[in-house]
Chains A and B, each alone.
Chain A
Amino acid sequence: MNAVGLLRARPRPAPVVLRRAVRMGPVSLVWRPRVLLVTMAAVLAAVLVAIVSLGVGDFSLSPAQVVSALLGHGTRQELLVVQTVRLPRILTGVAAGIALAIAGAIMQTTARNALASPDLLGVTAGASAGAVAVITLGGTASASGILREVGVPTAAMVGAIVATLAVIALTGRAGLSGIQPLLIGIGVSAFFAGAVNLFLIAAPIKDAARANVWLTGSLNQRSWPELWPIVLAVLVSVLILVPVNHRLQSLELGTDIARSTGLPLRSTGVLLIGVSVLLTAVAAASVGPLGFVALVAPHVARMACGMTRAPLLGAAAIGALVVVASDLLARTLFAPIQLPAGAVIAIIGGPFLVGLLIARKRRTAQ
């Protein structure tokens, strides 16, 4: 590394430690204990909630039974219920939570906007429209097989991309910062919501019923076919994000500084928004629109870790926790009736958003 710049001479090693780092050979990471703590706590909580959740249902099990069933011991019935029926469902929820949280965190960073979340920017609504279109137009073929596993997520992706392009085109030069793009997101969402209703009404009743089940954003009837697209999307996203993540922090300092420190804004923006849209669409295709997770999880992570932007790992862990916990609540609050997890998240997420708005205004008013 050439130290020819304004500092001229090669600087000697720093006499004091400015920031702690974890170093292992050529690899180093900034040591942020609070992030580690929060992430581990969230993971632990998510695991505990998941274990309880695995025990809840028509055939109820104690947490101890659940754990032994997971490990392979227990009666055939226990193994069946836990491993074959419930486990993929919970895992899908976890994966969806992770995907949505990361999508929200990236979107907020790229847009330099605390309120920018794929739900508010119309991405989820677009994904819904795409998915419902396939479910209703595909008829019974979409209930299983290739159309369900590949067709629905792909259509959701297409819908999400269309919605995102619409929002970007309409926000124009001003970019995604500020509060205007959210208004546009609301308009685009409303349009696609209307489209969803259109499909629901135009379709034969049983397809519409299936679509409606999908639309309520829940983990019911989700299994391995819903799980693997999300896992794939998350893996791809992680592969893309890890090399780029460390440079995203300069975005917080404004586009000028980001550009001046060498961040190619446009290509980075496209990449990040692309990843965010991918994650949102795939998650929505699998579990239906789970509004607010993408908004809430990154903020909670950011506040809990005391950072200026949401740490991706922490947000992911909290996203998983939110989904799993909401699902558990949704299933147990009014047992034996099962509410959709999305409803519970909305009831918590709405006031959260309002709180954010109020806090935001107080801050900018200073």
Chain B
Amino acid sequence: MNTSPSAGLIARDITVDYGRSTPALDAVSLTIETGVVTAIVGPNGSGKSTLLRTMGRLHTPQRGTVLLDGQDIFQRPTRDLARELGILPQSPVAPEGLTVVDLVSRGRDPHRRWFDQWARSDEAVVFAALERTGMTALATARVDDLSGGQRQRAWIALALAQETRTLLLDEPTTYLDIAHQLDVLDLVRTMHEEQGATVVMVLHDLSMAARYADRIVALRAGRIIADGTPADIITPPMLRDVFDIEATVIVDPNTGRPHVLPIRRTG
């Protein structure tokens, strides 16, 4: 784990304002530790997606900046940045008829030279990405024909093919059934364990976040309310403050991580 102060993804004083009464993000600062899986959680409208998207350069903040290895990501050429930082947005859509290989090979864009449109190295990387996500058998299948979990894995393979050191995932498990959720999150964990990847994910499900992340950042109304390990963070007071629920927190006997049992709404 790299502890140098300028390494890694750092968000500084990010303010995003859509012109409504309260800003979506209010002077948020966050330092993402390298080699760690971080989950960003929060109720609807807390700004978690906005924060992730800003850190992934999909959104420009009104104030503040994001640094990657000491460099402002908004000043870096897009293509350069794409080799270091990848982001998978929520519910991406593939055009009708696209095959998995075609989809994943888009991940090679930041590396590809225009005259060498299907280099052997590209093919090798795409194959490795498909292998990592267990999609080699479905390489020539159409994305439309895949199940929800398979489709999400194909998109993750695209992000892998980019060969970035940091990967941001915006709600990768929403709209997936429980089996596919486990599928995707197990994949993320494997990538992290085997490669020491830096992953930041926005997750809806607190218990999933607790189970798969090493660090949880909780947002509410555009501000970070809590930040720490799952064991430290997932507590009834935090759930009250951030999520407006009364809940019991138990230790999941299978994983040893906190698990939330909601009782009722408070506020």
Contact = CB atoms under 8 A, between A and B. Distances in A.
Interface of A: 1-8, 11-19, 21, 26-30, 242-247, 249-250, 252-254, 256-257, 259-265, 306-309, 363
A1 B129 CA distance: 16
B92 A27 contact: no
A243 B117 CA distance: 10
Interface string B121-150: 101111111101000100110000000000
Given A6-B197, A28-B119, A260-B56, A14 B126 contact: yes
- The 8 A-B pairs at the shortest CB distance, nearest first, are namely A262-B82, A5-B163, A14-B127, A262-B110, A11-B128, A256-B89, A262-B79, A21-B118
Nearest to B80: A262
Given A261-B110, A363-B96, A6 B164 contact: yes
B116 A252 contact: no
20 contacts: A1-B121, A2-B163, A5-B162, A6-B195, A7-B132, A8-B195, A13-B120, A14-B124, A14-B127, A18-B139, A19-B101, A21-B123, A27-B115, A28-B117, A29-B118, A254-B92, A257-B106, A261-B109, A261-B158, A262-B79
Contact of A7 (B83, B105, B119, B125): B125
A250 B106 contact: yes
Contact of A261 (B97, B106, B126, B132): B106
Contacts of B139: 16, 18
Interface in B71-91: 77-83, 86-89
Contacts of B158: 257, 261
Interface residues of B, number: 65
Question: By CB atoms of chain A within 10 A, which of B94, B114, B118, B121 has the most?
Answer: B118
A259 B111 CA distance: 14
Contact of A260 (B88, B97, B105, B114): B88
Contact of A259 (B58, B83, B106): B58
A6 B197 CA distance: 6
Interface in B228-246: none
Contact of B128 (A7, A30, A254, A259): A7
B117 A260 contact: no
A4 B163 contact: yes
Contacts of B160: 5-7
A16 to B, nearest CB: 7
Given A26-B115, A30-B118, A306 B97 contact: yes
A250 B127 contact: no
B114 A244 contact: yes
B117 A264 contact: no
A77 B162 CA distance: 63
A256 B87 contact: yes
A254 B93 contact: yes
A105 B124 CA distance: 31
Given A6-B163, A250-B109, 16 more contacts: A3-B163, A5-B160, A5-B162, A5-B164, A6-B159, A11-B125, A18-B123, A18-B127, A28-B119, A29-B118, A244-B114, A259-B58, A261-B158, A262-B110, A308-B98, A308-B102
Contacts of B94: 252-253
A7 B82 contact: no
B50 to A, nearest CB: 13
B48 interface: no
Contacts of B121: 1, 11
Q: Which of A4, A19, A243, A245 has the most CB of B within 10 A?
A: A19
A87 to B, nearest CB: 34
B87 A6 contact: no
A14 B141 CA distance: 18
Residue picked from B120, B124, B197, most chain A C-beta under 10 Å: B124
B129 A7 contact: yes
Contacts of A257: 88-89, 92, 106, 158
A256 B92 CA distance: 8
Contacts of B194: 8
Contact of B112 (A12, A242, A246): A246
Contacts of B53: 256
Nearest to B114: A243
A259 B89 CA distance: 11
A33 to B, nearest CB: 14
A242 B167 contact: no
B230 to A, nearest CB: 23
Contacts of B83: 2, 5, 262
B107 A4 contact: no
Nearest to B168: A260
B138 to A, nearest CB: 12
